[in-house]
A and B are shown apart, each in its own frame.
Chain A
């Protein structure tokens, strides 16, 4: 209850902040629509020349694009804006006040800045998933839909945990923001099914920067390609990632020395 109230207050304040910059808000919405159009154009060009990519047809890829956008909404709404705020805060010491609030500091650094307009992508993502799933020959059972939703949440949690871990390393190395830049670059690989990539890249986006776990894997569950044990395994990885990243964050906070006065 307290967390929901806190989140809604931050949402309100951030909305007020974003409302002050109308042009920026409109550009953000237009960019979302152009981005989706551009992605669909890319897919239509590919499917004009071939019937499938890595065993995935057009509708399934549209659904995959939807899931990828869903993860990207999280990145664009909270992860990237707060990374910028966090990196500045560590170096100039403004993070001091964050650690003195009687609230979990990991939660606080994750919601301090919320770029509301990027949440517009959320609607686009949901539409793409529904269109993709209903348009093709994706056969789904209620169990598969539940597995898909659970794995999408778990995948997003893994990506979020990776981000928390990477920014926590800043407490040890002071300047480590390039790691998040590499993470951002690899996020793009999630637009297509992991199966289309060479083995080494597939390994990289599954185990190192696990964007494939957040995008390809949930859709594999939807396509009925995963056995129960695999689904449970991926969910367990999600839970483990959240726990480990939280531990790393706490250890990092202990090391925090702030900037000198």
Chain B
């Protein structure tokens, strides 16, 4: 993607101040609790029982200017609840958060004009009108001058190729086209903090790649701070150096993605393609990983401790008819899955 100009750039918060500071944030929902069946429904109608659900518990972290942080966790981990608190949609049960110096849930209009929340599973755009009309509504709502609007739109158009699609009613757009328009609508006011909640959900591979490239380029040009949740590891590996893992509402890991592999799964995969060898046994070298390839294939993988890779590789090369050998990190999906359950 070619950089044409740098006008998306905006002043960043004063040096030394992290734009996102979260301390002991917790959110407990009260939900009605009843067993299934007609009798239970009648009893619940007369006397309602409530149960507390701790969606987020005592979560703290800081995010610096211009960082792209992956916010990961299984379904129901508390990711969306945290993003909703940080964007100002939900009031926490306890704890504090400062984003760009504002307390988000006070919904100060200065704050709302400086951030955006994009939810892949929700529509910001009106269904019956073309996206171009929704953009004009946003221009009025965010009080964007005609000159600023034109400049930002031209840039977003260049990055997302919006021109062919914004005149069609949104209901007639494909999912990928709709997400492009949703992103553009969310960025017209040039926010400096972006909360992206599964922005690539449901998109085909090529649309995912385009959205990913756009997010990266937007971050590069504008220096915006981005918090991203996604179930697609490709999003995370392409965009985020740092990840925060949350599970059952609790923070499990906050650090570099690369460090996570070393900490959670200190092993590597050695994949070898063997020549003529009917009785080769790989079990003495490490844990044999079931191969996805067909049985006729001569490629095998073993999992070994990271500090034994050199010794074991040397032994394999000496003892086996090796045609090809590669050393890889374990798949990130496996590492993160382990992190969830540690």
Contacts and interface: CB of A to CB of B under 8 A. Distances in A.
Given A99-B107, A102-B109, A102-B113, A258 B142 contact: no
Contacts of A100: 87-89, 107, 112, 116-117
A17 B129 contact: yes
Contacts of A96: 84, 89, 117, 119, 122
B124 A97 contact: yes
Interface residues of B, number: 35
B136 interface: yes
B304 to A, nearest CB: 39
Interface in A8-22: 9-10, 12-13, 16-17, 20
B197 interface: yes
Nearest to A255: B91
B123 interface: yes
Contact of B143 (A2, A20, A258): A2
Nearest to A254: B91
B44 to A, nearest CB: 14
Contacts of A6: 140-141
Contacts, number: 70
Contact of A102 (B87, B124, B142, B197): B142
A161 to B, nearest CB: 22
Contacts of B143: 2
B122 A97 contact: yes
Contacts of A256: 89-90
A260 B121 CA distance: 10
B51 to A, nearest CB: 15
Q: Can you list the 5 inter-chain pairs with the closest CB atoms, starting with the nearest?
A: A102-B109, A102-B112, A9-B140, A261-B80, A97-B124
Interface of A: 2, 5-6, 9-10, 12-13, 16-17, 20, 93-94, 96-97, 99-103, 254, 256-258, 260-261
Given A13-B137, A261-B121, 16 more contacts: A6-B140, A9-B140, A10-B137, A10-B140, A12-B136, A13-B133, A17-B128, A17-B129, A20-B128, A20-B169, A100-B112, A102-B113, A254-B91, A256-B90, A258-B89, A261-B198
Interface of B: 29, 80, 84, 87-91, 107, 109-110, 112-113, 116-117, 119, 121-124, 126, 128-129, 133-134, 136-137, 139-143, 169, 197-198
20 contacts: A2-B143, A5-B140, A6-B141, A12-B136, A13-B133, A13-B134, A96-B89, A96-B117, A96-B119, A97-B117, A97-B124, A99-B89, A99-B107, A100-B88, A100-B116, A102-B112, A103-B109, A256-B89, A256-B90, A261-B198
